[in-house]
Amino acid sequence: MSAAHRSAVIARRGCALVALGSAGLHLTSLGHATVSVSGVLLAMMVAGCVFCTRELWVVGSLRAWLVVALMNIAMIALHLPAPTHHHGGSAATDASLAMSLATLLALVEVCAAAAVLYVRTRRLGAALDDDRRH
């Protein structure tokens, strides 16, 4: 295994661990879900994070990176409008901290996935341009 390949595997598995951390954050939030619909949604997010973790750890395919990017963009879209300012009470502060951490992790995952997708597909655009010229 070359040094470049080894470092790519290490980086990919590092991203898989970040996805596992996201699953852990959703799992801790699952215990605080007061509405059954939000509990089901959180359970689905945990399953999605675990799926991405496995895919990134084992394969690291373009499909896996695309799923990571899309799920995290959706997560950011859902987390940003959530209320983060609460008066008093440490439970609200803990929830706000967890929400901020989850959003930050999602942003890191989107940036990593976008970088990987760009690097691994940039040659495809050049091939398409060559085909159009002929």
pLDDT by residue (tens digit) across 27-44? 888 777 778 888 888 888
What is the average pLDDT score of the chain? 83
Q: Is the pLDDT of residue 115 over 90?
A: yes
Range of the domain at 100: 3-133
- What confidence tens digit (pLDDT) does each residue in 43-67 have? 888 898 899 899 999 999 999 999 9
pTM of the model: 0.76
pLDDT of residue 80: 80
pLDDT at residue 58, as a whole number: 93
What gap in Å lies between CA 50 and CA 52, rounded to an integer?
5
CA atoms within 13 A on the CB side of 57: 11
Task: Give the burial string for 6-26 (b: 16+ CB within 10 Å, else e).
Answer: eebeeebeebbebbbbbbebb
Helices (H), 3-89: 3-30, 36-58, 62-79
